């Protein structure tokens, strides 16, 4: 009888240890879901003559950069121009007050941005084709 209890105890201990090994895997999956791109905001740009601003947002340790991409369902040839305004320091766009053009691949609007930085994303259409465009912002 003592052997049976000892064997059962070993089985329960082993099962418990195996269970502990599973928890980090699910924690890793959760971390992956909130990765830089996994935590992206989905926004929609509606065409207008002047640039449109989105935000104010605050950067976190999730991303080192501020990134944008148009939704995968965006028609070919549609692009958005984007820049970032670091609102605590200026009212002008980064990169010498210049916009960068973005399509359906992830692109960087600002690099090496410190955690806790407040910013506004400024968007305008590359051309008039881009009337209603869904895009993703990761920061």
pLDDT tens digit string along 17-63?
Answer: 444 443 444 444 344 445 889 889 999 999 888 899 999 999 989 99
CA 66 to chain centre: 8
What's the pTM? Answer: 0.71
96: left (phi over 0), alpha (psi -120 to 50) or beta: left
Which residue reads 């947002």 in tokens? 57
The pLDDT of residue 130 is 77
For residue 9, pLDDT over 80 is answered with: no
How many CA atoms lie less than 13 Å away from 76 in the CB half-sphere? 0
For residue 54, the Cα-to-chain-centroid distance in whole angstroms is 15
Strands 132-138 and 118-125: unpaired
Q: What is the pLDDT of residue 128?
A: 77
CA-nearest of 39, 33, 67, 52 to 133 is: 52
From edge to edge, which strands make up the β-sheet containing 41-46? 41-46, 132-138, 66-70, 107-110
Burial category of 16 from C-beta neighbours within 10 Å (exposed 0-12, middle 13-18, buried 19 and up): exposed
What are the boundaries of each domain within the chain?
A: 1-33, 41-138
Query: Domain 41-138's class?
Result: mainly beta
């Amino acid at each position: 009888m003592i052997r049976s209890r000892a064997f059962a105890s070993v089985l329960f201990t082993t099962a418990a240890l195996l269970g502990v090994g599973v928890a980090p895997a699910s924690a890793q999956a959760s971390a992956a879901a909130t990765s830089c791109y996994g935590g992206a905001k989905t926004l929609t740009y509606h065409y207008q003559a002047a640039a449109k601003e989105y935000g104010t947002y605050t950067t976190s340790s999730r991303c080192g950069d501020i990134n944008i991409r148009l939704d995968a369902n965006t028609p070919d040839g549609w692009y958005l121009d984007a820049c970032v305004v670091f609102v605590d320091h200026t009212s002008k766009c980064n990169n010498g007050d210049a916009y960068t053009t973005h399509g359906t691949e992830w692109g960087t609007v600002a690099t090496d941005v410190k955690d806790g930085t407040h910013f506004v994303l400024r968007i305008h259409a590359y051309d008039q084709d881009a009337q209603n465009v869904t895009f993703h912002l990761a920061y």
